[in-house]
């Protein structure tokens, strides 16, 4: 209980703020539709309402507050509306349906996992190179850092277009953008991890006249494990973000990114929120999964 109480407090606070914000965010559209249905709203002039503040409108039309929670296309959907939409699109639809979030979630997840695997592999290889070669240390690290300063939104369409022009589409371009985001934390973490053994540990291996390979497998790699797992948690979340961002310019309205995009085309805020919540839960599940593997691995290594 003591573990959940703080989390629960935050969740309650977020929901309270969310519910409190809904009337103000939706009041204008709500008043317009109520007026059309014959209700008397103040002010009755549409232009005056447009220029009035949200707060004043809510104060003057308190009768409309309950209606702000039940709009068809709310600007800010209430949590229960998002929950209803999630229920509809996650549980009630067949997973093969194009309206099912599970269907779209899987499309995004497959790109995420492939990208994460590529990113992790590349990250570890780069880190090994950086730790063992001074030239790589000097040359690769600045580029790795520079790569992360470019907004992914700018580079994602370019990757999609370039790969499309040579006939690569679908999963691979998304996975590459995913990998582009996830390799970086792995490089940084692994470089630190592989350098974690102190001078004494390295001297000890020298007294055994150990080879560089033996030093890597017996000392550097095991010593880097706690760092690797910390990086993997960041990396997998970044990979998911990468996959979603890649789906925006990819077109085809497939995947969670596609859902968000079509939601914004058609003013379906509920759909965007549903996809958002689904993506957040997916990310949490992936991080949790890595946490479990981490616990088991480090326990078996005697490190936790």
How many positions of this chain bind other proteins (CB under 8 A)? 19
Contact map string, positions 158 to 177, toward other proteins, x by CB under 8 A: --------------------
Q: Is the peptide bond before 43 cis (omega within 30 degrees of 0)?
A: yes
Whole-angstrom distance, CA of residue 28 vs CA of residue 207: 77
Give the shortest CB-223-to-other proteins separation in angstroms: 8
Give the three-class secondary structure for 254: coil
Q: What is the CA radius of gyration of the chain?
A: 25
Q: How far is the CB of 216 from other proteins (least distance, A)?
A: 12
Judged by beta carbon, residue 194 or residue 269, the one nearer other proteins is 194
The pair of three-digit structure tokens given for residue 281, joined into one six-digit string: 């839960």
| Residue 130 CA from chain centroid, whole number | 28
Site for other proteins, residues 2 to 61, rule: CB under 8 A: none
Give the separation between CA 34 and CA 61, rounded to whole angstroms: 11
Among residues 208 and 266, whose Cβ is nearest to other proteins?
208
Query: Do 188 and 216 contact (CB within 8 A), yes or no?
Result: no
CA-based nearest residue to 109, from 175, 157, 156, 54: 175
Closer CB to other proteins, 61 or 294, in the complex: 294
Burial class (CB in 10 A: 0-12, 13-18, 19+), 144: middle
> What is the C-alpha to C-alpha distance for residues 180 and 126, in angstroms, rounded to an integer?
13
Beta carbon of residue 222, minimum distance to other proteins (angstroms, whole number): 5
Which residue lies nearer to other proteins by CB, 215 or 249? 215
Closest to other proteins by CB, 125 or 204? 204
Site for other proteins in 190-249 (CB under 8 A): 200-201, 203-210, 214, 218-219, 222-223, 225
Q: What is the DSSP letter of 169?
A: -
All residues at 6 or more sequence positions from 82 whose CB lies less than 8 Å from its CB, including other chains:
270, 273, 274, 277
CB of 219 to other proteins, least distance (A): 7
Using the contact rule CB under 8 A, the part of the chain among 136-144, 234-242, 287-295, 296-304 near other proteins is: 296-304
Q: How far is the CB of 131 from other proteins (least distance, A)?
A: 18
- Least Å from the CB of residue 236 to other proteins: 24
Residues at the site binding other proteins, with contacts judged by CB under 8 A: 200-201, 203-210, 214, 218-219, 222-223, 225, 301-303
């Amino acid at each position: 209980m003591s573990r959940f109480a703080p989390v629960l407090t935050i969740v309650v606070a977020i929901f309270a703020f969310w519910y409190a914000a809904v009337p103000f965010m939706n009041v204008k559209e709500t008043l317009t539709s109520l007026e059309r249905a014959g209700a008397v709203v103040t002010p009755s002039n549409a232009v005056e309402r447009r220029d009035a503040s949200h707060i004043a409108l809510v104060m003057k039309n308190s009768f409309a507050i309950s209606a702000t929670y039940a709009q068809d296309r709310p600007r800010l959907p209430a949590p229960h509306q998002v929950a209803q939409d999630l229920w509809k699109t996650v549980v009630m639809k067949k997973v093969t349906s194009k309206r099912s979030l599970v269907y779209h979630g899987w499309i995004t997840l497959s790109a995420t996992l492939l990208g994460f695997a590529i990113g992790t592999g590349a990250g570890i290889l780069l880190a090994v190179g950086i730790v063992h070669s001074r030239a790589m240390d000097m040359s690769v690290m600045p580029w790795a850092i520079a790569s992360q300063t470019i907004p992914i939104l700018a580079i994602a369409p370019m990757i999609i277009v370039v790969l499309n022009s040579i006939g690569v589409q679908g999963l691979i371009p998304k996975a590459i953008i995913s990998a582009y985001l996830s390799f970086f934390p792995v490089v940084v973490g692994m470089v630190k991890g592989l350098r974690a053994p102190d001078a004494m540990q390295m001297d000890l291996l020298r007294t055994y006249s150990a080879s560089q390979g033996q030093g890597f497998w017996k000392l550097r790699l095991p010593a880097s494990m706690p760092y690797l797992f910390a990086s993997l948690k960041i990396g997998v979340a970044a990979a998911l973000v990468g996959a979603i961002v890649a789906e925006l310019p990819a077109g085809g309205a497939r995947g969670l990114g596609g859902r968000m995009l079509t939601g914004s085309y058609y003013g379906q805020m509920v759909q965007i929120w549903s996809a958002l919540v689904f993506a957040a839960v997916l990310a949490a599940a992936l991080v949790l999964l890595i946490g479990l593997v981490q616990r088991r691995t480090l326990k078996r290594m005697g490190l936790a």
